[in-house]
Amino acid sequence: MAALYRKYRPQTFDDVVGQEAVVRTLKNAITSGQVRQAYLFAGPRGTGKTSMARILAKSLNCAQGPTPSPDGTCHACVAIANGTSLDVIEMDAASQRGIDDIREIRDRVVLQPVEGRYKVYILDEAHQLTDAAWNALLKLIEEPPPHLVFVFCTTDLSKVLPTVRSRCQTFVFQRPRLQELVAKLRKIADAEGLDVPDQALALIARGARGAYRDAESTLDQLAAATEGKITVQTVLQLLGTVEEEALFRLCDLVVDRDTAGALTFIEELSEQGHDLGRLVTDLIEHLRHLMLVQHMGEVPEAVPVTEETRERLRAQANQLGEPTVIRLIDLLAVAVDDMRQGGDPRLPLELAIVKVTRPAADLSRESISFRLERLEQGAPPAPAAPAAPAAAATPAPPEPTAAVVAAEPIAAPDLDLNQLQDAWARTVLPAVEERGGIPTASLLREAHPSALSGNTLTLEFPATATFHLAQAQEPKHATVLAEALYDVTGRRLSLAFAVGEEIEAEAEPEGPAGEERILELLKETFDARERGE
């Protein structure tokens, strides 16, 4: 029994779904007698490039043609549909990609068609032809015999030589819209007598990522596994997709900032056999829907969800702040990159949850920006919550209340010395270099945070770095450091400078040797060199 994607492959232009522009152009060309002798079909896998090439060959060689509506019953149409036509030669350029294969084509094209009007060569995965093979074809593509038509099919248009593209009429195939793919699956399911709800078909279509062949193959596999009765649960099990309820629950735990609960829930999903890589991609898609609601005010009609799910998306979009949604998408992108390199997505997923639910544990510049943005949008940390009732109970004019709200972002970020010491080389110094350049950052690499009292930070320099200490105290360098610290920590810190205890033992300088030392320090700090005579 033939696979569903072969059984229901389009046989005429009218059967093609989702490629209206390509179909219209080809039909008009056939009707007006303006068929070109080299076509280039480009687009994602499973979008119907090879099927379109066969339909074009039928239209040209049909006994009633050339016609945009081949009858499908004549000998030429039947032979092309079965792949036995002597006038339609299909080649796989992934395996027949060398110059010898192209020379064989050049030797045969001079022969007239056996029974039709045209010899049609269909080269699949054409981008895999070698440069030498393409160069051997160039003259033949530009000035072919009148009975020869080339159709090159490729999934990577950028790899086709520009000289070849200029000699072909190019058509770019688009991924079908979800509704079109669901409609095609419903047509197949009804024809095959399958009992499958629309929600299950929508899940299959989403999993296919716009590829007809993948969607039809998945439906075929489900039909065999379920004896014709397909449910949403069986689709979820086969595709490894996570249920919507799990995605809503995970985001609710993020709203509650329940780090332990979220990590435990991820562990439960893993123990139940869910693919964590698929969880990451499904969670990103869910967050995308929330982001669209937050910025558009409504769930777009193109999003394939039920009305109940739309209501839940609106409700959750109001609970989960915009900064949190965007920050979590950025962090999950790291997990996607790891998966592409063959890594385990578990740790990046867990780190993303921890960094979003406990942003104070992360002193990266992105985390600080995220925390400040949350505060600016009216999401103060828990200790600041009681300030709102107190302000409401005070019969004061609006100005003091505004002052209290404005002051919250300044005092909100918590900071301790250990966090600052950990972030010094990793985050603070790069921020200094970005603001003040390499010289300022080089001066401060000799120092380290030694004390933090209130809003006063003490930097300690070693005894051998008195020159660096003196330079760092200059206003131009100290100001750059203070601004960089504010960028990283969100707090305005006063600076104090100290030197190690060893400085007291060096009571007297060594005199003339100091000049050479100063020259060395200047070279090191300012990347300078002595000018030749």
The pLDDT tens digits of the residues spanning 147-170 come to: 889 899 998 888 888 888 888 899
Residue tagged 């060309």 (tokens): 29
Give the number of other CB atoms < 10 A from CB of residue 361.
11
For position 363, what pLDDT does the model report?
52
Tokens for 450, please give them.
Answer: 């030694």
What CATH architecture applies to the domain 4-172? Answer: 3-Layer(aba) Sandwich (3.40)
Residues in a beta bridge with 457: 452, 495
Of the candidates 426, 415, 417, which has an alpha carbon nearest to the alpha carbon of residue 360? 415
Distance separating alpha carbons of residues 504 and 406, to the nearest angstrom: 46
Q: Which residue has the higher pLDDT, 533 or 217?
A: 217
Find out whether 251 and 320 touch, Cβ atoms under 8 Å. yes
Could you read off the pLDDT of 252-284 as tens digits, one per residue?
999 888 889 999 999 988 887 778 888 888 899
Q: What is the pLDDT of residue 191?
A: 87
| Domain made up of 178-239: CATH architecture | Orthogonal Bundle (1.10)
Whether the link from the prior residue into 145 is cis, omega within 30° of 0, is no
Residue 4 pLDDT > 60, yes or no? yes
Kindly tell me the burial class for residue 403, based on how many C-beta atoms sit within 10 Å of its own C-beta (0-12, 13-18, 19 or more): exposed
Q: Which of 419, 491, 417 is nearest to 460 (CA)?
A: 417
pLDDT of 525 strictly over 80 = no
- Record the pTM: 0.58
Helix residue spans in 301-397 (DSSP H): 307-319, 322-340, 346-357, 365-376, 387-393
Q: Give pLDDT tens digits for 364-387.
A: 555 565 555 555 555 544 433 333
Could you report the per-residue pLDDT of 454-505, keeping only the tens digit for each?
Answer: 788 888 888 888 888 888 888 878 888 888 887 777 778 888 888 876 534 4
CATH 3.30.300.180 correct for 417-525:
yes
Which residues of the chain form CATH 1.20.272.10? 245-376
**pLDDT for position 393:** 41
Q: What confidence tens digit (pLDDT) does each residue in 7-24 have?
A: 888 888 888 888 888 999
H or E segment and range at residue 524: helix 513-526
Classify domain 245-376 at the CATH topology level: Zinc Finger, Delta Prime; domain 3 (1.20.272)
Radius of gyration of the chain (CA): 34
The neighbouring-strand residues paired with 195 are: 229
pLDDT at residue 405 greater than cutoff 50: no
Please tell me the least confidently modeled range out of 98-107, 226-235, 348-357: 98-107
Q: Is the pLDDT of residue 201 over 80?
A: yes
Higher pLDDT, 214 or 209: 214
| Higher pLDDT pick, 32 / 475 | 32
> What is the DSSP annotation of 433-448?
HHHH-HHHHHHHTT-E
pLDDT over threshold 50, residue 116: yes
The SS3 call for residue 169 is strand
pLDDT category at 39 given cuts 50, 70, 90 is very high
C-alpha 133 chain-centroid distance: 35
